[in-house]
């Protein structure tokens, strides 16, 4: 296709559009979404009602590459309905068959993004007369200042401007709130429900509201015992009174209440203390029926529980034994635990999402009777102890009690998502999710302090605040 450009130079058109953005919220701007490969896109309604053909021709050479194509050409039929890509205001209408663009309009949405609709019809129905009849350009009532809803009919497809010798089409442009044009191809495909660039759908997660006061950092550990630090998290030397006895692999980490130390344990229950953590013993000399898979500290930092895959609980220091599943038949192995805020109870989590409550831990629900896309991996309790989140292997989040849904990996719209573990913020209003490639995703009020890209992580542990 030939260049589909505007009637006047691009800078002038952007200025004109910006000068007529009446009726829009002054602060309405939303950052673009990104595919896993960094391609920008935005949630839109497909701008044509009916079947069209198009390719990713953004950036294609025009006029000997003196200009580049700043949109995608959606090839269809004359008088097809072009519709609003989002709720917003028509900021500019051009009703002139001359120049490159011909008849066109601009729509600015409530998020601050702008869409250009170019080569709108200029012919009497059934002809190619170029008579430019007013009733066959735009939908009734559409003019500069009109408020429209996503999917609303706004214009007729045509071949005005320099498109007279081409198939009727909509030259569709997508502009960031600052006016920069971006390739609309990914947004268009996703609007049709077609996977593209590693994204299988438009993200549906609630908007994040990061707050550093909700958590100031985290550790990411690998099974070789390497501890990586993010935010205010630090690494510490082994406590001088701790005998360092390791088998492999390391399976869990628990921080002290101050955040100035932590314990690591291996799958045989040997415990090593670091920083201000003290060792209160371990399961290394116990004949275990199943390997150790988890560790949780008490609220005082003067004790901890070790968790075995069969649901066995081993208590050390001031950790109280409230019960276990060690002698009971399980439908699925135990994969995690969480203590109540006061340390007077705990929950055990099965791979099928079954929840077992002990002490003052209340049962708020489970996925034990559900059909899951992927097994459950870990859990996190809310700050009140009156709810908890469970995370599945695909990064799906299940909420119970007062745990609110803040987003998930499938909710990003990305394809084939996977998770390793999760950790909640101290407010209970957000959480972090760790992916198998070391990437960290922050939801709700969680702040993303960085990722351990390129490693194979075991888990993420939040710094106590």
The pLDDT tens digits for 417-462 are 999 999 999 999 999 999 999 999 999 999 999 999 889 999 999 9
pLDDT at 10: 36
CATH 2.130.10.10 residue ranges for the chain: 212-462
Distance CA(88)–CA(108), nearest Å, equals 5
pLDDT at 223: 79
Select from 119, 123, 132, 50 the least CA-distant residue to 83: 50
When pLDDT is averaged across residues 258-275 and rounded to a whole number, the result is 95
The owner of tokens 């549906």 is 204
Mean pLDDT estimate for the chain: 90
Residue 148 and residue 68 in contact, taking contact as beta carbons nearer than 8 Å: no
When pLDDT is averaged across residues 344-349 and rounded to a whole number, the result is 98
Structure tokens at 361: 């831990």
When pLDDT is averaged across residues 257-281 and rounded to a whole number, the result is 95
Stated pTM of the model: 0.79
Residue 346 and residue 359 in contact, taking contact as beta carbons nearer than 8 Å: yes
Residues 64-101: tens digit of each pLDDT: 676 778 899 999 999 999 999 999 999 999 998 878 89
Give the 3-state secondary structure of residue 87. coil
Rg of the chain on CA atoms, in Å: 29
Q: Which CATH number fits domain 10-191: 2.40.30.10, 2.40.70.10, 3.30.200.20, 2.70.70.10?
A: 2.70.70.10
Question: pLDDT band at residue 8, thresholds of 50, 70 and 90?
Answer: very low
Distance CA(175)–CA(47), nearest Å, equals 14
When pLDDT is averaged across residues 355-360 and rounded to a whole number, the result is 98
Question: pLDDT band at residue 17, thresholds of 50, 70 and 90?
Answer: very low
The owner of tokens 């989040």 is 397
Select from 332, 336, 356, 335 the least CA-distant residue to 345: 356
Top-level class of domain 212-462: mainly beta
When pLDDT is averaged across residues 365-382 and rounded to a whole number, the result is 94
CATH 2.70.70.10 residue ranges for the chain: 10-191
The owner of tokens 């205001």 is 89
Question: pLDDT band at residue 359, thresholds of 50, 70 and 90?
Answer: very high
pLDDT at 245: 63
Residue 423 and residue 214 in contact, taking contact as beta carbons nearer than 8 Å: no
Please give the helix or strand (H or E) that residue 10 lies within, else none. Answer: helix 10-19
Across 94-98, 283-287, 307-311, which has the greatest mean pLDDT?
A: 307-311
Question: pLDDT band at residue 12, thresholds of 50, 70 and 90?
Answer: very low
pLDDT at 224: 81
pLDDT at 63: 66
SS3 content of the chain, % helix, strand, coil (to 5): 5, 35, 60
Q: Which residue has the higher pLDDT, 399 or 246?
A: 399
pLDDT at 395: 98
pLDDT at 102: 94
pLDDT at 267: 94
Q: What size, in residues, is the chain?
A: 465
Residues 170-220: tens digit of each pLDDT: 999 999 999 999 999 999 999 999 999 989 988 889 989 999 999 999 999
């Amino acid at each position: 296709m030939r260049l589909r450009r505007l009637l006047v130079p691009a800078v002038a058109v952007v200025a004109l559009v910006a000068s007529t953005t009446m009726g829009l919220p002054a602060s309405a701007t939303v950052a673009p979404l990104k595919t896993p490969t960094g391609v920008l896109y935005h949630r839109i309604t497909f701008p044509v009602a009916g079947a069209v053909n198009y390719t990713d021709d953004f950036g294609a050479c025009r006029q000997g590459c003196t200009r580049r194509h700043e949109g995608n050409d959606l090839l269809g039929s004359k008088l097809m309905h072009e519709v609003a890509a989002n709720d917003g205001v028509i900021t500019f209408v051009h009703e002139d068959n001359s120049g490159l663009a011909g008849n066109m309009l601009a729509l600015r949405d409530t998020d601050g993004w702008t869409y250009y609709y170019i080569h709108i019809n200029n012919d009497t129905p059934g002809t190619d007369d170029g008579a430019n009849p007013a009733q066959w350009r735009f939908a009734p009532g559409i003019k500069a200042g009109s408020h429209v809803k996503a999917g609303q009919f706004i214009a007729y497809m045509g071949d005005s401007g320099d498109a007279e010798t081409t198939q009727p089409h909509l030259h569709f442009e997508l502009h960031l709130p600052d006016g920069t044009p971006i390739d609309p191809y990914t947004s268009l495909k996703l609007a049709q429900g077609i996977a593209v660039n590693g994204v299988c759908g438009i993200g549906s997660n609630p908007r994040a509201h990061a707050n550093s006061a909700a958590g100031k950092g985290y550790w990411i550990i690998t099974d070789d015992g390497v501890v990586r630090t993010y935010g205010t998290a630090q690494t510490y030397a082994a406590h001088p009174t701790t005998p360092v006895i390791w088998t492999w692999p390391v399976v869990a980490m628990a921080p002290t209440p101050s955040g100035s130390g932590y314990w690591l344990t291996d799958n045989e229950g040997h415990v090593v203390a670091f920083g201000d953590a003290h060792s209160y013993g371990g399961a290394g000399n116990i004949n275990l029926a199943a390997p150790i898979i988890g560790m949780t500290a008490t609220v005082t930092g003067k004790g901890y529980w070790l968790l075995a895959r069969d649901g066995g609980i081993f208590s050390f220091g001031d950790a109280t034994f409230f019960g276990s599943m060690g002698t009971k038949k399980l439908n699925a192995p135990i994969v995690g635990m969480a203590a109540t805020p006061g340390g007077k109870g705990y929950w055990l989590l099965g791979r099928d999402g079954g929840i077992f409550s002990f002490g003052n831990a209340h049962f708020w629900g489970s996925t034990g009777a559900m059909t899951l896309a992927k097994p459950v991996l870990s859990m996190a309790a809310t700050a009140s102890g009156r709810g908890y989140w469970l995370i599945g292997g695909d990064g799906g989040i299940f909420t119970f009690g007062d745990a609110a849904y803040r987003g998930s990996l499938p909710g990003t719209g990305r394809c084939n998502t996977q998770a390793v573990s999760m950790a909640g913020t101290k407010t209970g209003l957000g959480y972090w999710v760790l992916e198998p490639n070391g990437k960290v995703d922050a939801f709700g009020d969680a702040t993303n302090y960085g990722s351990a890209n390129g490693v194979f992580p075991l888990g993420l542990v939040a710094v106590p605040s």
